[in-house]
Amino acid sequence: MAHGFSALNTEVTTLQTRVIILVDLDYFFAQAEELRNPALKGKPVVVGMYSGRTADSGAVSTSNYEARKYGVKSGIPLFLAKKRLEGTEAVFLPVDYNYYEQISGKIMQILREYADGFEQVGIDEAYLDVTKRTGGDFEAAKTLVQEMKRAVKSQVGVTFSAGIAPNKLVAKIASDVQKPDGVTAVLPSEVERFLAPLPVDKLLGVGRKTSAKMASLGIKTIGDLARYDPQRLIEVFGKTLGAYFHNAANGIDNEPVQEAGEAESISRISTLKEDTRDIVAIIEKTGQQVEEIGKEIAQRGVRFKQVGIIAVMTDLTAKTRIQTLEQPTNDLEVLRKTVREIFEKYLSESQLEIRRVGVKIAQLTKEETQQKQLTSFFQPSNV
C-alpha cells in the first residue's frame, strides 16, 4: 500500500445520504420555439425531423403539451401528426439544433451555480449533487429547486421539471412524475414505496425485449423485480445485468454525479512482437503506452483514479481487468506499477498466450477540481 492504492475494485464508500437532483427541461425543442416566437403559445406546436423525401416524411422530435392532447408525441410519423391535428391552429417547425444548444447552454450555466457536482446528460437534462450545500436536507433541496426555477424562468424564459432523490436512478424516475414545471422529491425512506408499483420499463436498460422476458418470469413491477431471487436473475440475465436489475429495483445506485470529461478514459493498445506470456515483453510494450498516456494527461491536466489493462488473447477474445486507486493521481510510476501488478495477477489466472496488450486509465478529473476537492476535504469541520 506504500504507493497509495488498494485491492481490486474498491468501491467509493458513501459517508452520507446524498441529495441528487435531475433537471429535465419541459417539451424542450418546442418550448425553445415558443421562446423565440411567443405567438406560438397556446397553439399545438410540433417540431419535426424532416427526412426530405416528401413534404411530410419524417418523424416528430417533440411537441408542446397542446399538441400532446391530440396524441402527437416524439417518434410518431409527421403525416400522422398532421392528420391528428387537422382543423387546429397547429404549427409545424423543423429542428434547429444549433439554436436549442444555445438555449440549453445558457440554462446549464445557470444550473451549474447551484450544484456541488454537475453532470449534463444530453441537451435537456442535468444531474446536480447538492449534498454539501443542503447539508443532506431534502427540504433545503426543494427550496433550491424553486430558486433554480425562478432563475431559469427569469433569465432564459424556460420551465423544467425536477426529481430529488438519494441517487441518480431514483431522481431521474422522480423527475417524470410531475410535468411540466413540476418537482417530485423521494426521501431515502420513501424509495422502496415509490418504486414498487412502477412498471419495470421505468428502469434504465429495461426495454421491450427485457420487460417481455421479465413478464414471462412473472415480474411486472419494480417491486416484483426487487423481491425476485437475485441468483435466478443472474442466471437469466448474466452477472452484470442481473446484479444491476436487482440493485436498481431496490433503489440502490452509487453512480457519482460527474462532469462529462470525468467519465472519459484514455487508452492505448498495440500488438506484441509475438504471442507471449512473458511479463518482460508485456511490460516493455505497456511501458511505451504508459509514456504516451503520460503525455496526454500532462497536456490535458488530468489525474486518473482507475487503471485497467486490456489483453487480447490468441483466440482474439479481449479481457480487461480494472483496479481503482484510493485517490486520483498523475504519477506515472503508480501507473506502471499498477499495470505490472494487474498483468502478473492476470497471467497467473489465464493459460492462454497474449497477442495484443493495452493500458487504460479512467475516472479522470481536472487538476483544479481535484485541488478544490482536496481543500474542502481537509477543512476541519468543527472550527
Nearest distance, CB of residue 194 and ligand DCP, angstroms: 19
Binding to ligand DCP in span 117-136, by CB under 6 A = 124
Interface with Ca ion (CB under 5 A), residue from 33, 34, 66, 124? 124
Nearest distance, CB of residue 154 and ligand DCP, angstroms: 20
Cis peptide before 180, with omega less than 30 degrees from 0? yes
147/105 Cα distance (integer angstroms): 19
Residue 180 binds ligand DCP, judged by CB under 6 A: yes
The CA R_g of the chain, rounded to the nearest whole Å, is 25
Residue 24 binds ligand DCP, judged by CB under 6 A: yes
Binding to Ca ion in span 27-66, by CB under 5 A = 28
Interface with ligand DCP (CB under 6 A), residue from 5, 18, 20, 26? 26
Q: Please give the C-alpha separations between residue 156 and each of 21, 47, 228, 261, 310, in angstroms, as whole numbers.
A: 20, 20, 46, 26, 46
255/257 Cα distance (integer angstroms): 7
| Strand-pair partners of 199 | 221
- The reply to whether 101 belongs to the active site is no
User: Which region, judged by CB under 5 A, interacts with Ca ion, from 16-24, 49-57, 74-82, 151-159?
Assistant: 16-24
Binding to ligand DCP in span 54-93, by CB under 6 A = 61-62, 74-75
Residue 179 binds ligand DCP, judged by CB under 6 A: yes
Nearest distance, CB of residue 124 and ligand DCP, angstroms: 4
Q: Which of 33, 119, 125, 262 is catalytic?
A: 125
72/46 Cα distance (integer angstroms): 8
308/323 Cα distance (integer angstroms): 6
Grid cell listed for 280: 518482460
302/312 Cα distance (integer angstroms): 27
| 153 or 372: CB nearest ligand DCP | 153
Decide if 318 contacts 346 (C-beta within 8 A): no
Residue 24 binds Ca ion, judged by CB under 5 A: yes
| 126 or 214: CB nearest Ca ion | 126
User: Which region, judged by CB under 5 A, interacts with Ca ion, from 17-25, 36-44, 49-57, 306-314?
Assistant: 17-25
180/51 Cα distance (integer angstroms): 29
| 34 or 129: CB nearest ligand DCP | 34
Nearest distance, CB of residue 335 and Ca ion, angstroms: 37
Interface with Ca ion (CB under 5 A), residue from 125, 129, 253, 262? 125
| 135 or 205: CB nearest Ca ion | 205
Shortest CA distance to 186 belongs to which of 166, 160, 169, 162?
Answer: 166
| 26 or 129: CB nearest ligand DCP | 26
77/241 Cα distance (integer angstroms): 33
Q: Return the one option of Ca ion, ligand DCP, none that residue 92 interacts with (CB less than 5 to 8 A, by type).
A: none
Q: Please, what's the b/e burial string for 19-47 (b: 16 or more CB within 10 A of its CB; e: otherwise)?
A: bbbbbbbbbbbbbbbbbeeeebeeebbbb
Q: Give Cα 164 to chain centroid, integer Å.
A: 16
Q: Which residues bind ligand DCP (CB under 6 A)?
A: 24-29, 61-62, 74-75, 124, 179-180
Residues marked as catalytic: 125
Q: Which residues bind Ca ion (CB under 5 A)?
A: 24-25, 28, 124-125
